[in-house]
Structure 1
Amino acid sequence: MGQALARAFLAHGHPTTVWNRSAAKGDALVAAGARRAASVADAVAGAGLVVVCVVDYAAARQLLEPAAAALRGRTVVNLTADTPDAARAMAAWAADHGVDYLDGSIMTPTITIDTPDAALIYSGPGDLYRRHAATLAALGGTQRHLGADPSRAAAFDVALLDLFWTAAAGMTHAFALAKAEGIDGADLVPLAEDMAGLLKASMAEHGARLDADRYDADIAELSTIAAGLEHVVTASERRGLDTAVQRAALAQMRRAIEAGHGGDDLSVLSAALLAEREAVSRA
């Protein structure tokens, strides 16, 4: 991803200096016109904008802390994925060292950078984002500033990744179950795509219900949904498939049903998770 970001800046005429712990990874970028730095401090010395993209915030801190003096008065845009708590800690470190800081997340794969399909989100001071928005636009696609709270981009990131990877886990299991029942993947795809469209169509209502704290069922009750998921678990186990994920989802539904929400909409599960969190924190 770091190479893709640097290529995009170079393609849009921005003088770009690169540094990587594995120096050879910068060879193609240097050939394309980038300057190779000997160290992080060397990389940031002449930069008004420093973009960081590594595996996590611990790695980012490890790289940036020795260069703190060189970073003073400069802007760091951290496009490393991590948690909201890590983003808050990173922003506090930057403030303590006189470093202007924007947190961000890249919500699309490497191949989308510098294309209309890219999607990036940022959080931190609005004036700081506006100052660098034109340069960051080189990364392509949709760029959104989500507010002054530096942890907001990371919070959106983990929520959206939760949605995607949990759904992806369901997809992998569904195709395995179909195959175990003699259904080819190609035959399942058209109906699976319709099902994914149904999930997408339900999101706006789900969010609105949670915001309004309104969970009366008008299409399907939670008890009926749980019965359907029980069929999935039974069919999967009869074919020898692991059902840990499906059983976890079913257990969540059963807890809500036992709490009196069997006649409510599926969206009540979000409220139930929040209520469980509150109960744990009070305990």
Structure 2
Amino acid sequence: MSEDNRAPVTVLGLGSMGRALAEAFLRAGHPTTVWNRSAAKAAPLVARGASHAPDVRVAVAASPLVVACLTTYDATLEALAPAAADLPGRDLVTVNSGTPAGARRMAAWATGHGARFLDGAVKNVPAAVGRPDTLLYYSGDRAVFDDHEATLRALGGDTVHLGEEADLAALYEMAVGGTLLPALLGFFQGAAMVTARGLEASTLVPYTVKWLEMIGSVLPDLAEEIDTGDYTEPASSIGIFHAAVAEERLLGREAGVDASWQEPMYDLLERAVAEGRAEHSVSALVELLRRRPRAA
């Protein structure tokens, strides 16, 4: 596709991520229309060549492809409601937070108003949008993905369609995203410990990165154990993790840090051992996680 016939696109919502999406489309040469409830946020993009729509109806009408980057599905529905009559013949891509149920509700609303629908997730920070290795995945109408794949690749080179079910991107977004806060809290706890000794948190970074790379290297084997349901040949057993709990609690007290956020994990290990799973792979914890939480 030459720069003279780059497909036009509209971006709704100009928070940090929405702004990054619009900037990526502009860098790739796509005529880009932007809209935000607070019009002032559009000014820097207009200076770079974007067109500012005064209202959401004008924004939707401006392009065959509309990318909505608001906070939640409910916020997207609220923003698009005035433009419902302008949706027929448009392709709507949502990139926001929310549950699979929210994605299904969004898809039903969009298709019910004559639009084709695709849901998406950006698996990186706004500063990484547009890079060749930035991952975005989508789910929903495959024809929409195929028709706009070249345009969507302006947002990241690692662009994947997960399947026709509209809620798959939201499902994977939440399933993968569940690793983020625990990993960060682990780093923050380590930072609290070393800084209490007068050391800098930055000294942890190279070793933490190597540790995370190790974790990444064992995920395929752990996933295979989960998929087969065979936990009997562990590289790391539940018992090994359980045996370390007392020392980890002692270390928290010794270092003077609040490690109470780990207690639910320790409780999970305790329950697994009580069930006779001490010799099973740590991946067997998924069997406990598949159950409903116990009543308080």
For normalisation by structure 1, the TM-score amounts to 0.92
Match status 1:161 vs 2:177: yes
| Gapped regions of structure 1 (runs ≥ 5) | none
CA distance in structure 1 between the aligned counterparts of 2:129 and 2:236, rounded to whole angstroms? 40
CA distance in structure 2 between the aligned counterparts of 1:73 and 1:230, rounded to whole angstroms? 61
> How far 1:76 moved relative to its partner?
0.4
Match status 1:262 vs 2:286: no
CA distance in structure 2 between the aligned counterparts of 1:119 and 1:225, rounded to whole angstroms? 32
Match status 1:220 vs 2:236: yes
Q: Contact 1:120 / 1:144 at 8 angstroms: preserved in 2? A: yes
Residue of structure 2 in register with 1:135 after alignment: 151
Identify which of 202, 210, 216 aligns with 1:194. 210
Residue of structure 1 in register with 2:104 after alignment: 88
Q: Mapping of 1:243-282 within 5 angstroms?
A: 243-274=259-290, 276-277=291-292
> How far 1:65 moved relative to its partner?
1.4
Identify which of 64, 75, 79 aligns with 1:63. 79
Distance 1:36 1:87, change over 3 A: same
How many corresponding residue pairs?
Answer: 279
> How far 1:182 moved relative to its partner?
5.8
Q: Contact 1:230 / 1:250 at 8 angstroms: preserved in 2? A: no
Question: Which deviations, in whole Å up to 9, do the C-alpha atoms of 1:224-280 show, x marking residues without a partner?
Answer: 211213311221023332222211111111111111111111000012211x23x87
Q: Contact 1:137 / 1:143 at 8 angstroms: preserved in 2? A: yes
> How far 1:119 moved relative to its partner?
1.4
Residue of structure 2 in register with 1:116 after alignment: 132
Q: Contact 2:231 / 2:284 at 8 angstroms: preserved in 1? A: yes
| Gapped regions of structure 2 (runs ≥ 5) | 1-16
Residue of structure 1 in register with 2:37 after alignment: 21
Counterpart residue identity of residue 89, structure 2: G
Q: Contact 1:16 / 1:34 at 8 angstroms: preserved in 2? A: yes
SS in 2 for 1:215: coil
Q: Contact 1:233 / 1:247 at 8 angstroms: preserved in 2? A: no
> How far 1:219 moved relative to its partner?
2.7
Distance 1:135 1:190, change over 3 A: closer
CA distance in structure 2 between the aligned counterparts of 1:37 and 1:186, rounded to whole angstroms? 44
Tell me which moved more, 154-163 or 236-245.
236-245
Counterpart residue identity of residue 146, structure 2: R
> How far 1:181 moved relative to its partner?
5.2
CA distance in structure 2 between the aligned counterparts of 1:44 and 1:97, rounded to whole angstroms? 13
Q: Comparing both structures, which one devotes a greater share of its residues to helix?
A: 1
Identify which of 166, 188, 192 aligns with 1:176. 192
Distance 1:191 1:118, change over 3 A: closer
Question: Which deviations, in whole Å up to 9, do the C-alpha atoms of 1:56-93 show, x marking residues without a partner?
Answer: 11111110112110112211000112211111111111
CA distance in structure 1 between the aligned counterparts of 2:181 and 2:157, rounded to whole angstroms? 22
> How far 1:106 moved relative to its partner?
0.6
CA distance in structure 1 between the aligned counterparts of 2:43 and 2:30, rounded to whole angstroms? 18
Q: Contact 1:229 / 1:246 at 8 angstroms: preserved in 2? A: no
Q: Contact 2:18 / 2:69 at 8 angstroms: preserved in 1? A: yes
Distance 1:230 1:72, change over 3 A: farther
Distance 1:74 1:156, change over 3 A: same
Structure 1: 4+ residue segments shifted above 3 A: 178-191
Residue of structure 2 in register with 1:76 after alignment: 92
Q: Contact 2:234 / 2:282 at 8 angstroms: preserved in 1? A: no
Question: Which deviations, in whole Å up to 9, do the C-alpha atoms of 1:25-77 show, x marking residues without a partner?
Answer: 11111122211111101101131000000111111111011211011221100
For normalisation by structure 2, the TM-score amounts to 0.89
Identity, in percent, stands at: 36
Q: Contact 1:17 / 1:35 at 8 angstroms: preserved in 2? A: yes
